[in-house]
Amino acid sequence: MALFHGINNKAKNTDSSGFGTNPGNYGGRFINKDGSANITKRGASAISRTSWYHTMINMPRWKFLLVLIGFYTGVNFLFACIYYLIGVDSLDGIDSHGPEWIKFGKAYFFSAQTFTTVGYGHISPNGFFTSAVAATEALTGLLSFAIATGLFYGRFSRPKAYLKFSQKALIAPYK
């Protein structure tokens, strides 16, 4: 009998998983009657408890598009700042004698062309650091478009229920 001395003898063995209609004395139901989960997650931060995929799939269409456009604009702005900090002299095709905002604008549009892997050829990187940043941005762009495509597909392929439920039913003979 010393073999089982670590087991709590007051614990009750029950075959119920908590998904039944009778909660009994095992602590309650896992799913409430309204369909919501009766489970709390503890010990994890709010960021680790959030499913970004499900958040993006379930948000309204206008918010989803706003997040995608904001991400695209923000990433291009970030890489344009990096190109501008490296120096627009390392980008062939940009006149270094113009106003600063024009130089930054050209760096931004070069960033957009690199992010989308269009690369019109008018502006090209010249130097190791600029080429490394451009390669990193192209990889970021490819991965971002792959994720966005998956999110679009997930939103389109999500089933939608068009049934309405009521407390009253009308039953009539067929024909």
Tell me the CATH number at 96: 1.10.287.70
For residue 19, the SS3 value is: coil
Distance in angstroms (rounded) separating the CA atoms of residues 122 and 142 = 21
Q: What tokens appear for 161 in the block?
A: 């229920």
- Mean pLDDT (whole number) for 137-152: 95
Considering only residues 65 and 26, tell me which one the structure prediction assigns the higher pLDDT. Answer: 65
- The whole-angstrom distance between residue 74's C-alpha and the CA centroid of its chain comes to 15
Residue 120 falls within a domain, yes or no? yes
Residue 139's domain comprises 52-156
Residue 43 falls within a domain, yes or no? no
What domain count does the chain have? 1
Considering only residues 8 and 148, tell me which one the structure prediction assigns the higher pLDDT. Answer: 148
Q: What confidence score (pLDDT) does residue 2 get?
A: 55
Residue 18 falls within a domain, yes or no? no
pLDDT-based confidence at residue 82 (cuts at 50, 70, 90): very high
- Mean pLDDT (whole number) for 30-43: 76
